Amino acid sequence: MNIDANTEQILSELESCGFEAYMVGGCVRDGIMGRECHDIDITTNALPQQMLEVFRDYRVIPTGIKHGTVTVLCGGVPFEITTYRIDGEYTDHRRPDKVEFTSDITADLARRDFTVNAIAMDKNGSIIDPFGGKNDIEAGIIRCVGEPEKRFTEDALRIMRAVRFSSQLGFEIDENTAAAVHRMKDDLKKISRERIREELDKLICGKNCIDVLLGYSDVITAVIPEFQPCIGLDQRSPYHKYTVWEHIVRSLDSAPCEDILLRRALFFHDIGKPACMTLDENGRGHFKKHDNVGAEMTRELMRQLKYDNRSIADVSTLIANHSKKIRDRADVKKMMSNIGDELFFSLMVMKKCDNSAKNEFVLAENVFFDKLIAMGHEIISNNECRNIRGLAVKGTDLAALGFKGAEIGGLLHEILGLVIEGTLDNNRTEILKYAEQRCRQ
């Protein structure tokens, strides 16, 4: 693991003053795995006041000095440095009521969640690994430090973190840890929705999300009960080979891991299906209006999970339109007009991902979606009109003809529709001629 200059400087400052200093947690885990490290956490036997003295020439923020943590800026990079500690009771299932500082690094590592996160490394690359975290990394296992029940009782979010790490890292969850995850999943209801949201986003973007979402669906329904009717629901459709839940999971997995908007949209896209399912006389399943119902359910669920307004709007817009038929160039322009260029391209990829988790014959439609994507780029390249701003006339032109107030907006939308359909040229003279005729009616 390569240690950058700023990290080495922080560690050296502590060591030069006679203290122990180690990198700890996720940064060490990722370094051992050859993954890029983002946040470097430091642990030391220096007490908080001693840290303030060591870093008196640095900008220091007493982030959580009561719990032994200060933040030191080095080279413009913030480093959280925490004194070795033993945690007290967690009555709020999030933070210890009190902490006791210790000089024993092993005691400090013993309070951490999983063995893969309970490894410390000094600036020379030597590790302290009392719980076998390095072996678990090599074996691809997520295992609690000590008794899973104790770790999960301290902070129930660790239940969600276990499945999130399994999804992100592609690791299996140890048998005892997995049993506790299933057994204690309802404790997640004690956790704030914001913390759940952060773990959920990471989980659904993981490379192992299929196995985790299918194997731990009870954890998902513990935090989002609205998914429960999707589990095991046979769609009874010639287009589908999976239950609603498995279809959701497999379509989600086909989206790029880094595309959080698309992953969120696919995660929620069919949540409205159970409420809309009907069977015809032949026993075939139909799901009319599930896109609109799902979009409304998603809006409410994302509000509860404290997503920002833009994310809620974009995800629900994609869901509301994911079943809409787009047949030709005019339909492409209409959709671009309705949801914007960027969301149009996301919608096309979403449709392809949706199809990837259906019966094989449906995949042929993805070739058509590729053509629509190319058409969309062509429309942009040609600067073809697809919104009111692109019309050759403005509201002031219509006002000059005698139109007033809401009439102007209504007529602009009418003209835009005709231009998109190709029945009226986006030409100032032609549009004004049409408007004059409308004025006489």
In the chain, ranges of CATH 3.30.460.10 domains = 1-139
- Gap between the Cα atoms of 325 and 179, Å rounded: 45
pLDDT at 298: 98
For 391, counting Cβ atoms within 10 Å of its Cβ (0-12 exposed, 13-18 middle, 19+ buried), the class is middle
> Is residue 246 a contact partner of residue 259, using CB atoms and an 8 Å limit?
no
Let me know the angle formed at the C-alpha of 36 by 34 and 40, rounded to the nearest 5 degrees. 110
pLDDT band at 36 (very low <50, low <70, confident <90, very high): confident
pLDDT at 90: 67
Name the average pLDDT for the chain: 95
> What pLDDT, in 10s, does the model give residues 230-253?
999 999 999 999 999 999 999 999
In the chain, ranges of CATH 1.10.3210 domains = 224-384
- Tokens standing for residue 118: 């309970």
Name the fold adopted by 1-139: Beta Polymerase; domain 2 (3.30.460)
Q: 141-142 and 172-173 as β-strands: parallel, antiparallel, unpaired?
A: parallel
> What pLDDT, in 10s, does the model give residues 155-202?
999 999 999 999 999 999 999 999 999 999 999 999 999 999 999 999
Q: What average pLDDT score do residues 350-378 get? A: 97
Q: Write the CATH number of the domain with boundaries 224-384.
A: 1.10.3210
**Beta carbons within 10 angstroms of residue 344's beta carbon:** 25
Q: How far apart are the first and last CA of the chain?
A: 77
For 135-162, give one letter per residue: b (16+ CB within 10 A) or e.
ebbeeebbbbbeebeebbbbbbbbbbbb
Smallest CA-to-CA distance from 399 within 434, 435, 440, 437 is with 435
In the chain, ranges of CATH 1.10.110.30 domains = 140-223
> What pLDDT, in 10s, does the model give residues 330-340?
999 999 999 99
**CA 363 from centroid of its chain's CA atoms:** 26
Is the pTM higher than 0.95? Answer: no
Smallest CA-to-CA distance from 164 within 189, 133, 201 is with 201
Residue 96 has pLDDT above 90, yes or no: no
| Secondary structure element (H or E) that encloses residue 128, with its range | strand 127-128
Decide: helix, strand or coil at residue 419: helix
pLDDT band at 88 (very low <50, low <70, confident <90, very high): low
Decide which of 1.10.246, 1.20.144, 3.10.105, 1.10.730 is the CATH code for 389-440: 1.10.246
pLDDT band at 93 (very low <50, low <70, confident <90, very high): low
Q: What average pLDDT score do residues 347-364 get? A: 97
Residue type, 28: V
In the chain, ranges of CATH 1.10.246 domains = 389-440
Domain 140-223 has CATH 1.10.110.30: yes
Q: What average pLDDT score do residues 70-78 get? A: 93
> Is residue 200 a contact partner of residue 188, using CB atoms and an 8 Å limit?
no
Residue 279 main-chain phi, psi, to 5 deg? -115, 135
Q: Distances in Å between the alpha carbon of 21 and those of 13, 31, 122, 146?
A: 9, 17, 7, 24
Q: What share of the chain is helix, strand, coil (3-state, %, to 5)?
A: 55, 10, 30
Decide: helix, strand or coil at residue 81: strand
pLDDT band at 37 (very low <50, low <70, confident <90, very high): confident
Task: Among 34-48, 86-100, 259-273, name the one with the lowest average pLDDT.
Answer: 86-100
Task: Among 50-54, 101-105, 435-439, name the one with the lowest average pLDDT.
Answer: 435-439
